[in-house]
Amino acid sequence: MPVLIVTARKRTTITSLLRISLNSLLAFFLLLVTGCATTGGTKRESIKWYSLEEGKVLAKRLNRPCVVDFHFSRGCPRCEKLEKYVYSNREIIHKLNTEFIPIRIELSGELTPEEKALGERFKYNNECLLLFMDPEGNVIKDPSGKNLCFVDYIEPEWFIRYLDMAKQRALR
């Protein structure tokens, strides 16, 4: 049976190898954690929402149509789906920020008289609602003549086509 003889010199070598291995392992984990933190910390582009009041002023000044989203931040499946599948799409984010004035009206808070009047004009009944308006504040009708959009789910590709159609109708 072989006998393991550990001398002081071998013990130093083993200790050095263990120390190097532990330091390498520690460095690896530090890089991993730092890399994850850096990657997770990169700023993701998002929609720059405006209030109804400031959005209408910007729309006139920049001659852009508006997307008005009567929105619940919590507890509304339609609003949550729009957030998750539509408002997170890079192309939609870019279009809304550069070709439209995105306006968000938070329904879980107190509405201004102007926000309330706009919602009541379309009989929104304090439910989520999506409107498209020209730079003058006139609601853009879709090809079927409807003023508004109540949907359970919108495919991002469809929404992009709808944005293009709304922009074309708004700027005639």
Residue 92 burial (CB count, 10 A): 23
Residue 5 burial (CB count, 10 A): 6
Spatial contact of 131 and 147, defined as CB atoms under 8 Å apart:
yes
101 forms bridges with which residues in the sheet?
66
Sign for the pseudo-dihedral over CA of 72, 75, 80, 81: negative
pTM of the model: 0.71
Nearest alpha carbon to residue 166 among 52, 155, 143: 143
104 forms bridges with which residues in the sheet?
69
Per-residue pLDDT of the chain (172 residues; tens, 9 = 90+): 555 565 556 555 555 655 655 555 444 544 444 444 444 555 678 999 999 999 999 999 999 999 999 999 888 888 898 999 999 999 999 999 999 999 999 999 899 999 999 998 888 778 888 899 999 999 887 777 665 565 666 789 999 998 999 999 988 8
